[in-house]
Amino acid sequence: MGRTHTNGYKRVGDFFPDLQFRPVLQAVCTRSPDKVKAFANQWGYASTETDWKEMIKRNDIDAIDICTPNDTHAEIAIAAAQAGKMILCEKPLARTLQEALQMSEAVDKAGVKNTVWYNYRRMPAVTLAKQIVDSGKLGRIFHYRANFLQDWTINANLPQGGEALWRLDVDAAGSGVTGDLLAHCIDTAIWLNGPIKDVSAVTETFIKERVHQLTGKVQKVGIDDACIFHCHFTNGSLGLFESTRYARGHKALYTFEINGEHASVRWDLHDLNRLEFFDHADESIVRGWRTIHVTDGDHPFMNKWWVPGLSIGYEHSFVHQVADFLKSLETGEPCSPTFKDALETQKVCQAVIESANSKSWKNIDIY
Amino acid sequence: MGRTHTNGYKRVGDFFPDLQFRPVLQAVCTRSPDKVKAFANQWGYASTETDWKEMIKRNDIDAIDICTPNDTHAEIAIAAAQAGKMILCEKPLARTLQEALQMSEAVDKAGVKNTVWYNYRRMPAVTLAKQIVDSGKLGRIFHYRANFLQDWTINANLPQGGEALWRLDVDAAGSGVTGDLLAHCIDTAIWLNGPIKDVSAVTETFIKERVHQLTGKVQKVGIDDACIFHCHFTNGSLGLFESTRYARGHKALYTFEINGEHASVRWDLHDLNRLEFFDHADESIVRGWRTIHVTDGDHPFMNKWWVPGLSIGYEHSFVHQVADFLKSLETGEPCSPTFKDALETQKVCQAVIESANSKSWKNIDIY
Amino acid sequence: MGRTHTNGYKRVGDFFPDLQFRPVLQAVCTRSPDKVKAFANQWGYASTETDWKEMIKRNDIDAIDICTPNDTHAEIAIAAAQAGKMILCEKPLARTLQEALQMSEAVDKAGVKNTVWYNYRRMPAVTLAKQIVDSGKLGRIFHYRANFLQDWTINANLPQGGEALWRLDVDAAGSGVTGDLLAHCIDTAIWLNGPIKDVSAVTETFIKERVHQLTGKVQKVGIDDACIFHCHFTNGSLGLFESTRYARGHKALYTFEINGEHASVRWDLHDLNRLEFFDHADESIVRGWRTIHVTDGDHPFMNKWWVPGLSIGYEHSFVHQVADFLKSLETGEPCSPTFKDALETQKVCQAVIESANSKSWKNIDIY
Amino acid sequence: MGRTHTNGYKRVGDFFPDLQFRPVLQAVCTRSPDKVKAFANQWGYASTETDWKEMIKRNDIDAIDICTPNDTHAEIAIAAAQAGKMILCEKPLARTLQEALQMSEAVDKAGVKNTVWYNYRRMPAVTLAKQIVDSGKLGRIFHYRANFLQDWTINANLPQGGEALWRLDVDAAGSGVTGDLLAHCIDTAIWLNGPIKDVSAVTETFIKERVHQLTGKVQKVGIDDACIFHCHFTNGSLGLFESTRYARGHKALYTFEINGEHASVRWDLHDLNRLEFFDHADESIVRGWRTIHVTDGDHPFMNKWWVPGLSIGYEHSFVHQVADFLKSLETGEPCSPTFKDALETQKVCQAVIESANSKSWKNIDIY
């Protein structure tokens, strides 16, 4: 993720020239001295560190971007907040709700700018979906459904843990697909459709044991390979969420669909420049799902890029978040989602895991 | 449904000329004397009845096709079985598991041929999916998901009950989308992926009251407008099912997808001649979902119809079921799904409704 | 084609009960005594003939349906017209413009009802396209493009000629893809977009020699395997047409698209229940191609079939043409396309072949 | 185009760290002093010029990137070549074949590195298509078809000429869609399918007069609004090309499809990360078009970007071309397409325009 964030910082000035602030790549930190030098050289960082605590001590650094494994988010974020740094934290905010609460308190107490990299909010097609929902075109909402399907861990010989595969190690990741993939779906869902009230979930670990990359030993797999839940939103609609890394044929199929009384929208990350929209108000004989190629100048963010019909890609959502973060420094407004916003997603993740473990419904308001 | 079944009987001889038996449209029954005459005249039935009990008494009738509202299935089927008639019953088999058990016992006891019109099993693309699954191409199954989404009851002014809208009346229908739509999904799922072990469901009734067509009074709506459940199959895979009549933009979106270790398949009723298939064994750089236009001579049932590329429609699945039923008279084999097969779907429906009501998981083996 | 036509006659009464006339399957004719008996038995024809001249002599026969190879259309149609029979002739009307002119004169002189089986006009989605164009929604038309792509003759070992493969024999067929496939595209185009003014074409025969099925000898292939032409319509729009039997992966990909000043429509036979429509009048940020599932009660012909979302197939277009033909007997109006209408398509086919041969533009009005 | 090229230079080091050379943004030139300062400031150019001749005189500049209107390409390129500069020229190479020939001679004589920005060759899905074709998987090629459809000039009130709309002014552009859009299609076609032998074309100018942006007068429109041609390739396949700016609903629909004896491929710029592939060698019952999401590490260029399933966009093709140009400095190999390669496209464009004007076939080898 260091590459996507850095790319965001480097491109923002080229495409958003009217912003008052421009990021400076002052320092990069990673534990390996060799790797940090190589990375700094490749991407143009002015200096390097191998201990994040040194980064936080430096006076020439105003903002800390956390893109380490999940088990370090809380410690770094809390220390950075105490040092008065702005914080941009990779999602999920933390491994557990408990950690997330402490982080949110820390930034509140310190009064520092903060945001969490739920980048999909700033895919132009997703932002357009938000505009459509907020316009009231959909009317009363009946259904929200989302899934995030992958297939990269089907191979039973894949080890868990270590630098490349920490997402399979429950100690480093906190959870499996719930925190990694469903967290994205939940963040978007709350943003588009409001708070979730209660959840009923099931999780599954298909491959029960894997060799650990670091220890070399066969160890029990602690993460959830798949997670499904249904829920009620506070607006009365029904929600349905599914995530897995065992859906053969899907590389990163993040889709959502909202069905309202008058209209519906849906989106698919695999074709991220398209939004599908159905409007019952269309004349009946020519009514149908429309596929909107979200590349026009009046589409969100797209006046910064190319001419209609020419696509942008995954990493552009990070450029947009950097732009909005910089803009928030001008306006003094928060840059959504803040740690506080991300706490809501964390609560749902917590409830989902507990619901699956207890085989019962969980209310969100108990958290 | 009388039209689709009758069409099935009338076309089967034209397109399946090698069958030993051909159906004869000996009599049709409906309560209204005017309507039954008109229907018989239009479709070419030799005689009419207005009391189904008279039908069952007649010696010139060998088979009874039940396509009445759900609340009459049990009584008619049991009487027909006792009279030694073959029975072809519209789905769902019954309103409740209790009724279905009695019906299944009755046909067993009488030893009469029987089948239930879960017609989607004989859509060529669905039958092809069954062939692919049975071939072992998918390997170990991880996920099964299906939904059946409609949008025709969103209007709050739609009444419930009466001849046209009995599906909205819980007394006539037994349940809402669970028996009407999810039953199709469950039948296909069990057929393709084996028995379901346990379920956790939620149902919702979005419009709480509607005028009753017959009484003219505003009455509480007793059916489920939407139903979602997740489940375990006995083969260890996770299932996810959703059905609703409040998904704006979807007329009859019945889809299913199966993800296996090596390959996946999916289908969508809106494009019923297509099956999508992903095979991980394909060379990696040219690997992708294939869209199979299931219209070739070596595809199931398609050597009976037109040349490759030319589509068939919804009603052809009923022609195929008639053909298979007639074939079963030759071979003595059962014509799937039998009442006994349909009982398994009924158990899952019962568990789903009870799970939703009790907000808890339900095991299927308690039924 | 005998099966599709017969099916049309047999189904029409079931689904179009309000028509005053119903077809009677009085007699069927084919040269082989065995085959004609088998066909009559399977489909329910009352009698058989093995010489078409005998059919025409019979007083109990009012209408002749010609679905023989193209080289016999003219002789049969002219004789039938002279005998005062109504004629329903398979497309293309004839092998050559000369034959077609004689046929058209014969039916005019005899004053007999006639129609040509350009069945695609009565696919509901295509008929809907016609409604949309006629409504003026598209505004000034700029472009019309159509293609009909197949891949079934790529195999060099396929013989030409004989009963099954007469379409590959230039003597029986008159031309290759031009008369077989492009004729469909041209008929629809003229119907939707008006007359064609001039054409510039190229044809190709990829496999130069094939064994003849009947003689067993290797003979030169006389048909066009592929044909491409561009043209001007009299309304000022540009046309582009392509047909081939060498497009690997396409079974029967008949598509057309019309681009107007304000809106566009397109269709694909492989997904025949769908029409795609783009309306520039839509609000700009939610503008996109709509995919219309043409299965609603207010779509052409669809109130005769099933509920919204449930598809019909290829053969239904023939049922619709039979219905319209029977209706024309009530009203006295012609049943389009008549022989006279089909003559316009024949002129374009003639011009296309001559243009390709002479490597020059050909005006249609010289014919 | 200055933005896409500059972005290419700025991104290449981040994502292609192993290259020996890195571009330096030494100077940018545009006629307006204000604009050139603003652009330099935004994108980080070290210095500015307002006269391109000054650029060419500078010793601190090794390469000239030409992204001016077409009427200046020849003069600049020839001068740059004479000054010994490397040249990267925007497409089309020139307004006319005559200009292009002079440019090609100039770079040959000077022996300077050169390339033309036919960027679509380096879209990963297009590069993958090239790999597939070159692998021989398609067998003998029968058909090549491509189109480039837009709809942005339908409005009759759009002026021609000036800075923003020079593409509508024949003096600045040389031609309309032929040089602007079809040139892309032709470049890709020759690259994938070899040389074109002869062409037969038609062009159309739908809006005959427009106000000129600079003069304010209504003037005749000299460009082609639409251009269609068919052709023979030297490998015996038939080609079909169409381009227009009057296809309502299409923003930048560049598609191509190649049909071979054994397999076919097709691509669509609107969904640029996907390649469709049909392989007749697949088992017949599961054979179908595959949609390949070209985002895996073993797909061309994609190991430089993100994980499987995550898309890149339009501008990445320019980054790839910069990378390949820099690589060519290491290896001494040419960076395709060179001026010489682009000359072949220019010949076809010339033949197309002349064929349309003379209403006759034109051989390419006469040029």
ipTM value > 0.90 = yes
**Averaged over B225-251, what is the pLDDT?**
98
Q: Is D1 on the interface with C (CB under 8 A)?
A: no
Instruction: Look at residues A118, A47, A109, A111 and name the one whose alpha carbon lies nearest to residue A88.
Output: A118
What is the predicted pLDDT for the residue at B213? Answer: 87
Collect all residues of chain D within an 8 Å Cβ-Cβ radius of residue A295: 251
Q: Find out whether A334 and A328 touch, Cβ atoms under 8 Å.
A: yes
Any chain A CB within 8 A of the CB of D309? yes
Q: What is the mean pLDDT of residues B351-365?
A: 97
Which chains lie within 8 Å of chain D at 3 or more CB pairs, if any? A, B, C
Does the pLDDT value for residue B252 go beyond 90?
Answer: yes
**Interface probe with C: pick from A277, A286, A293, most Cβ of C within 10 Å:** A286
Mutation target to probe the B interface, by most B beta carbons within 10 A, among A140, A248, A251, A256 is A248
User: What span, in angstroms and rounded, lies between the C-alpha atoms of B103 and A168?
Assistant: 50
| Gap between the Cα atoms of A149 and A186, Å rounded | 14
Q: Say if A312 is an interface residue toward chain D (CB within 8 Å).
A: yes
Nearest CB to B288 within list D285, D287, D291: D291
Q: What are phi and psi of A254, to 5 degrees?
A: -95, 115
Give the span between the Cα atoms of A172 and A191, in whole angstroms. Answer: 27
Question: In a mutagenesis test of the D interface, which of A16, A314, A317, A320 is the best target, namely the one with the most D β-carbons within 10 Å?
Answer: A314
CB proximity C205 to D under 8 Å = no
CA angle C6, C7, C13 (to 5 degrees): 105
CA-based nearest distance A297→chain C, Å: 9
- Classify each residue of D199-216 as buried b or exposed e, where b means 16 or more C-beta atoms within 10 Å of its C-beta: bbbbbbebbeebebbeee
The residue among D319, D4, D258 whose CA lies nearest residue D128 is D258
Q: Is pLDDT above 90 for D163?
A: no
Q: Which residue of B has its CA nearest to C149?
A: B309
Query: Which chain B residues have a beta carbon less than 8 Å from that of A206?
Result: 142, 236
For residue C223, the 8-state DSSP code is S
Bridge partners of A133?
A: none
Q: Where are the alpha helices (DSSP H) in D216-334?
A: 316-331
Q: How far is B265 from chain A (nearest CA, A)?
A: 9
**Regions of chain C where pLDDT drops below 70:** none
Contacting residues of B for A200, CB less than 8 Å apart: 200, 202, 359
D21: left (phi over 0), alpha (psi -120 to 50) or beta: beta
Half-sphere exposure of C64 (CA within 13 A, CB side): 30
Taking an 8 Å cut-off on Cβ atoms, the answer to whether C259 and D240 are in contact is no
Q: Nearest-CA distance from D295 to chain B in Å? A: 10
CA-CA distance, A178 to A349, in Å (whole number)? 6
Mean pLDDT, range B268-289, rounded to an integer? 97
pLDDT of residue A213: 87
pLDDT in tens, D17-64: 999 999 999 999 999 999 999 999 999 999 999 999 999 999 999 999
Contacts of B316 in chain C (CB under 8 A): 313
Of D132, D289, D299, Cβ closest to residue B290: D289
Q: For B11-59, write each residue's pLDDT tens digit.
A: 999 999 999 999 999 999 999 999 999 999 999 999 999 999 999 999 9
**In terms of Cα–Cα distance, which of C355, C348, C360 is closest to C190?**
C348
Give residue C230's pLDDT: 98
DSSP state of C280: T
Minimum-distance CB partner of D285 among B284, B286, B299: B299
d(CA B80, CA B96): 19
| Three-state DSSP class for residue B89 | strand
CA distances to D66, D120, D182 from D117, in Å: 10, 8, 14
Q: Return phi, psi of residue C243, to 5°.
A: -145, 145
Predicted local distance difference test score (pLDDT) of residue B192? 98
φ/ψ bin of B281: left (φ > 0), alpha (ψ from -120 to 50), beta (otherwise): alpha
**Three-state DSSP class for residue B130:** helix
Q: Does B134 touch chain D (CB under 8 A)?
A: no
Q: What residues in C contact A292, CB-CB < 8 Å?
A: 285-288
Sites in chain A below the pLDDT cut of 70:
none
Local structure of D142: helix, strand or coil: strand
Q: Which two tokens stand for residue C233?
A: 């319509």
What pLDDT score does A259 carry?
98
Condensed to tens digits (0 to 9), the pLDDT of residues D150-159 reads: 999 999 999 9
All chains having 3 or more CB pairs closer than 8 angstroms to chain A: B, C, D
Distances (CA, A) of D61 to D3, D56, D327: 19, 8, 19
Residue A284's pLDDT is 97
CB contact under 8 A, C298 and A288: no
Amino acid letter for position A168: L
Q: What is the pLDDT of residue B179?
A: 94
User: Is some CB atom of chain B closer than 8 A to the CB atom of D281?
Assistant: no
**What gap in Å lies between CA C86 and CA C77, rounded to an integer?**
9
Question: Whole-angstrom Cα distance, residue C289 to residue A275?
Answer: 11
Predicted local confidence at residue C164, as pLDDT: 80
Query: What is the 3-state secondary structure of chain D?
Result: CHHHHHHHHHHHHHHCCCCCCCCCCCCEECCCHHHHHHHHHHHCCCCEECCHHHHHHCCCCCEEEECCCHHHHHHHHHHHHHCCCEEEECCCCCCCHHHHHHHHHHHHHHCCCEEECCHHHHCHHHHHHHHHHHCCCCCCEEEEEEEEECCCCCCCCCCEECCCEHHHCHHHHCCCHHHHHHHHHHHHHHHHHCCEEEEEEEEECCCCEEEECCCCCEEECCCCCEEEEEEEECCCCEEEEEEECCCCCCCCEEEEEEEECCEEEEEEHHHCCEEEEEECCCCHHHCCEEEEECCCCCCCCHHHCCCCCCCCCCCHHHHHHHHHHHHHHHHCCCCCCCHHHHHHHHHHHHHHHHHHHHCCCEEHHHC
Amino acid at D163: E
Nearest residue in chain C measured CA to CA from B22: C42
Q: Give tens-digit pLDDT for B295-312.
A: 999 999 999 999 999 999
Contact criterion met (CB < 8 Å) for C286 and A298: no
Q: Which of B142, B228, B250 sits opposite A230 (nearest CB)?
A: B228
For residue range C73-127, what is the model confidence (pLDDT) as tens digits? 999 999 999 999 999 999 999 999 999 999 999 999 999 999 999 999 999 999 9
Select from D31, D185, D183, D37 the least CA-distant residue to D96: D183
pLDDT of residue C34: 95
Are B247 and B270 in contact by the 8 Å Cβ rule? The answer is no
Residue B141 has pLDDT above 90, yes or no: yes
Q: Which two tokens stand for residue C218?
A: 């290797």
3-state secondary structure of A252: coil
B4 and C CB contact within 8 Å: yes
Q: Is C291 on the interface with A (CB under 8 A)?
A: yes
- Taking the Cβ of residue A289 and every Cβ of chain D, the question of whether any pair is shorter than 8 Å is answered with no
Alpha carbon distance, N-terminus to C-terminus of chain D: 30
Q: Are strands C86-89 and C63-66 parallel, antiparallel or unpaired?
A: parallel
Quote the DSSP letter at residue A197.
E
| Residue D78 pLDDT > 90 | yes
CA distance B327 to chain C (A): 17
Q: Residue C262 and residue C266: Cα distance in Å, rounded?
A: 14
CB contact A360 to B (< 8 Å): yes
Of B7, B308, B311, the CB nearest to C272: B311
Give the burial class of A269: count Cβ atoms within 10 A of its Cβ; 0-12 exposed, 13-18 middle, 19 or more buried.
Answer: buried
Q: Can you give the pLDDT at residue C155?
A: 94
